[in-house]
Amino acid sequence: MFFGGGALWFLYIVWNLSAADLVIFSTPQPWVVIFSMLAAGAFFYVPDFLAVRGLCVLTLLAGWPLLMAAYMEYDKPQRLLMVSAVFIAVSLAIYLGAVPYRLRDFFRWLFSTPGRPRVVGSCLFVYGLLLTAVAFTY
């Protein structure tokens, strides 16, 4: 589901490329066909950890609108809280896209003791509350 969603979102972006983005072909349709075949090939020939790779694709694609929301907003230092989290997520997505089994290892480490999920969840919850509070200070 994650890989299919990421592939469809990417194909949508490729389908709507402007003429300035097209170098080799004059229309985006050949690129859509090529990337559709690549996605189908990855689905059938590299099925290991496909959900992790799909989450990585979705994270990379979702990072773009979030970063564009803070682009050229230099007079608002609060944006750095959101932008920092996005850059960390994008960095993790690139890393986990290359070695997806590390996410399994992380979950194994996380749930090996009962207190770790609560601590990690509490930290993420507090960071989310901080981002929510900062969003109202713009």
Please give the angle made by the CA atoms of 73, 92 and 113, to the nearest 5 degrees: 120
Residues 25, 30: Cα–Cα separation, whole Å: 7
* Whether the predicted pLDDT of 59 surpasses 90: yes
Residue-wise pLDDT for 80-116, tens only, equals 888 899 999 999 999 999 999 999 999 999 999 999 9
> Which pLDDT does position 134 carry in this prediction?
87
138 has pLDDT over 90: no
- pLDDT attached to residue 20: 77
pLDDT tens digits for range 7-41:
999 999 889 888 777 788 888 888 889 899 999 99
Return the pLDDT at 61. Answer: 94
pLDDT at 19: 79
What local confidence, expressed as pLDDT, does residue 123 receive? Answer: 96
Q: Is 137 helix (H, G, I), strand (E, B) or coil?
A: coil
pLDDT of 92 reads 95
pTM listed for this prediction: 0.82
Cα distance between residue 110 and residue 4, in whole Å: 27
For the chain, how long is the longest CA-to-CA vector? 57
Q: Which residues, including other chains, have CB under 8 Å from residue 102's CB and lie 6 or more apart?
A: 95, 96
Per-residue pLDDT at 81: 85
pLDDT of residue 104: 92
| Domain around 99 | 2-135
Domains in the chain, number: 1
Q: What is the pLDDT of residues 123-136, one digit of tens each?
A: 999 999 998 998 88
